[in-house]
Structure 1
Amino acid sequence: MTLFLTDTDVRATFDWGEAIAALRSAYSAPPDEARFPARSIARGEGLWLRTLSGVPGDGSPMGAKLIAASTRNRLASYLIPLFDQETVELTALLDGHSITGYRTAATSALAADVLAPPGPLRAAVIGSGFEAQNHVRALAAIRTLSAVTVFSPNPASRLRFTRELADLNVPLATADSAEAAVDGADLVICAARSRDEQPTLRTAPPGTTIVSIGSTLPEQREVGVEVVAQATVIVADMPDEVDHDTGDLIAAKDAGVAFADKLVPLADVVAGRTAGRPAGRPDAVVLYKSVGSAVQDLAVAAMCARRAAELSIGTTLPVTLSPVPK
């Protein structure tokens, strides 16, 4: 039988701790590039369809995320089908809208956990919207936050951010600039689209761990060339795409900043194959760059589908696909 989960169902089943645990398992699987090919995109006039597919190495359901978008009508739909790896039965269909936001923040929290020094973290957040708030919630599920300071250009948005997260019982403060927000921070979360595609973070204090999720296309900028140059290690969820398709690293190349020898996959750090934060370098700046991947979508979708079955949430479809002999 196939379980269908609406976006409301996904929100009802989602759990930060379980999502991070599922991602840790997915990223700890033996490396195999064939399991997660590069994303593809089909384009029409004012339309595009993007596909991210994967066969997880930890045995969890295989599947894909499909994003259908109409740029002319400013609309998008997200669909995630999941298939059992043994029987290839279609086990679940999920609305992938909220999963996209959840998986980004949960993966960032996993990256921060393996890259930041042990102990409570003083976090600075540049951005105050949905992604920024999700990142704080994800981090609070895995690490103790001794303080969180937020900056966004609109003072009302900063205050709304503190109200929305008041239930976490974490000390929350606002700052009038990005520089003031990151002063004294151990961890910096960049989660805001910049104005005119100018970097929102131009320098990093020594010893900080930086999470950057807002530059996923060549024309987008989030961290300055100086930050890329400062970084001792650059950890990427999809190294090739981060290298070639993000405006931050394209700008760094154009400025003559060499970083190829310090770019490492997140999977290697999570699995312990590569060190993330250099030993004996408390002043080292470590940068995590994310563009998103099917690894993340499938791990979180499978977790939601499993919890939905346990909690009797969702709709069992009256018909489904039948695997056929091949």
Structure 2
Amino acid sequence: MTLFLTDADVRAAFDWADAIAALRGAYAAPPDETRFPSRSMARGDGLWLRTLSGVPGDGGPMGAKLIAASLRNRRASYLIPLFDQETVELTALLDGHSITGFRTAATSALAADLLAPAGPLRVAVIGSGFEAQNHVRALAAIRHLSSVTVFSPTPASRTRFTQELADLQLPTATAQSPEAAVAGADLVICAARSRDEQPTLREAPAGATVVSIGSTLPEQRELATEVISRAEVIVADLVHEVTEDTGDLIAARKAGVDFAAKTVSLADVVSGRVAGRPAHDPDAVVIYKSVGSAAQDLAVAAMCVRRAAELSLGTRLPVTISPVSK
């Protein structure tokens, strides 16, 4: 029978280390663009319905994430259906709200683990909300963090950030500017919507790995053109969408920055087909830029379903959708 997981079920079943391991396996699968087509967006009268679908190459459940949103009412719903690849049975339905945030941070942690220097990491965070906090939790699950410094425009938000992460027992500090936050950092996490769509990161420290997840649309800006220009390597979860549909890369292209030759896919880095951080240059700046993908949603959703079954979480639906012969 189909297992239904509420958002509370998903949160109870979720585990950072397991999510990162699931994503590592998903991205190590042989590349096949047909398995994960471009997302689609239906729009109408202040409403939109976005669809991300995929058939994982590692044999995991196929499925989709649907996001229904009303811009005028400022509301959204997230639904993830999962189907068994062999029987095409509907195995699970999940509230996808928390999965969206979890999979973004877990994928960033996977990328950072591959791209950041070995050893303890000095982390700078620009942003203090849900995504920013999740990124620190994800990173702390797989790397030792020697310090975490946060910048957010509001002092109260910076304080709340450190209080929310107190259970991790990490050395935390607040900064009054992005420049002060990133000084000396090994890893910079950009996870905040910029005001007036002006870049929040204008300069990256030598040798830093920059994680950028806050600019996913053409009208959004997060990284200054100078940061894009300086980067030795840009790792993208979806190369085409990152280079063509994000405000950071659109602005850099207009400014004459040629980044095509230095942009590689996260899947190629995970699988070892290409190197991430240049071994010859310890001062190289490397960027991981994410727009999110169905591969991430499905890997993390499948992991949550497995753990939910082990923990006796969720609700078995009394009826389901039965496959039919074709």
TM-score by length of 2: 0.99
- Please state how far the C-alpha of 1:195 moved relative to its aligned partner: 0.6
Q: Does 1:234 align with 2:234?
A: yes
Instruction: Name the SS for the 1:81 alignment partner.
Output: strand
Considering only aligned residues, what root-mean-square deviation do their CA atoms show, in Å?
A: 0.5
Gaps of 5+ in 1: none
Alpha-carbon distance in 2 for matches of 1:154, 1:43: 34
Instruction: Name the SS for the 2:232 alignment partner.
Output: strand
Instruction: Name the SS for the 2:142 alignment partner.
Output: coil
Kindly tell me the number of residue pairs found equivalent between the two proteins: 326
1:302 is matched with: 302
Alpha-carbon distance in 1 for matches of 2:156, 2:45: 38
Instruction: Name the SS for the 1:141 alignment partner.
Output: helix
Gaps of 5+ in 2: none
2:322 is matched with: 322
Instruction: Name the SS for the 1:322 alignment partner.
Output: coil
2:10 is matched with: 10
- Please state how far the C-alpha of 1:73 moved relative to its aligned partner: 1.2
Question: How far does the alpha carbon of each residue in 1:133-181 deviate from its partner, in whole angstroms, 9 at most, with x for none?
Answer: 0000000001000000000010111011001101101100001100000
Alignment of 1:28-177 (within 5 A): 28-177=28-177
1:223 is matched with: 223
- Please state how far the C-alpha of 1:281 moved relative to its aligned partner: 0.9
2:254 is matched with: 254
Instruction: Name the SS for the 2:241 alignment partner.
Output: helix
Question: How far does the alpha carbon of each residue in 1:247-294 deviate from its partner, in whole angstroms, 9 at most, with x for none?
Answer: 000000111111000010000000100000011210000001000000
2:185 is matched with: 185
- Please state how far the C-alpha of 1:318 moved relative to its aligned partner: 0.2
- Please state how far the C-alpha of 1:31 moved relative to its aligned partner: 0.3
Counterpart AA for 1:187: L
Q: Does 1:208 align with 2:213?
A: no
- Please state how far the C-alpha of 1:126 moved relative to its aligned partner: 0.2
Question: How far does the alpha carbon of each residue in 1:184-203 deviate from its partner, in whole angstroms, 9 at most, with x for none?
Answer: 10000000001100000001
Counterpart AA for 1:154: T
Alpha-carbon distance in 1 for matches of 2:96, 2:22: 17
Counterpart AA for 1:37: P
Question: How far does the alpha carbon of each residue in 1:8-63 deviate from its partner, in whole angstroms, 9 at most, with x for none?
Answer: 10001000000000000000000000000000011111111100000000011000
Alpha-carbon distance in 1 for matches of 2:21, 2:303: 9
TM-score by length of 1: 0.99
Alpha-carbon distance in 1 for matches of 2:38, 2:180: 38
Counterpart AA for 1:150: V
Runs of 4 or more above 3 Å deviation: none
Counterpart AA for 1:246: T
Alpha-carbon distance in 2 for matches of 1:63, 1:22: 16
Question: How far does the alpha carbon of each residue in 1:53-101 deviate from its partner, in whole angstroms, 9 at most, with x for none?
Answer: 0000001100000001111111110000000011110000000000000
- Please state how far the C-alpha of 1:225 moved relative to its aligned partner: 0.2
Question: How far does the alpha carbon of each residue in 1:98-148 deviate from its partner, in whole angstroms, 9 at most, with x for none?
Answer: 000000000000000000111110000000010000000000001000000
Instruction: Name the SS for the 1:210 alignment partner.
Output: strand
Counterpart AA for 2:44: G
Alpha-carbon distance in 2 for matches of 1:118, 1:15: 23
